[in-house]
Amino acid sequence: MNRLATYFWPYAGYRDANHGSLLERAAARRHNRQLSLGLPAYINRWAMVAAVLLILTQVVPDSAAPVVGVLFTVSFCAVVHLVHVWTLFRHLS
C-alpha cells in the first residue's frame, strides 16, 4: 500500500521551507525545487486515472456511475492541484 501511495502522491519527500534559519529554509527550497522536476510524471499518472474514470462513467451501470463520478472529480482535482504546484515552482525559481 505504501508503494501505491508514493506512486500517486509526490509530497512525502518535500521539506518545510517555512521553519529554520535562513540557510535551512534556502536549502529546503532548493530541495523542493529539485523534487518538483518529477511532478509532470505525477500529473500524467493522475490524468490517466481521470481519463479512465471518465470513460468508466459511460460504461458502468447507472447505480455505480455516481461513485465513479466522484472518483473522477477527486482525480481531476489532484491533476489541477499538481499543475498548480508545478507552475508555482517553475515561476518562483
Phi, psi of 15 (to 5 degrees): -110, 155
1-58 pLDDT, tens per residue?
788 888 888 888 889 999 999 999 999 999 999 999 999 999 999 999 999 999 999 9
CA–CA–CA angle 57, 87, 93 (5° rounding): 160
Please give the full DSSP string across 23-91, using - where no structure is assigned.
HHHHHHHHHHHHHGGGHHHHHHHHHHHHHHHHHHHHHS-TTTHHHHHHHHHHHHHHHHHHHHHHHHHHH
pLDDT value, residue 93: 60
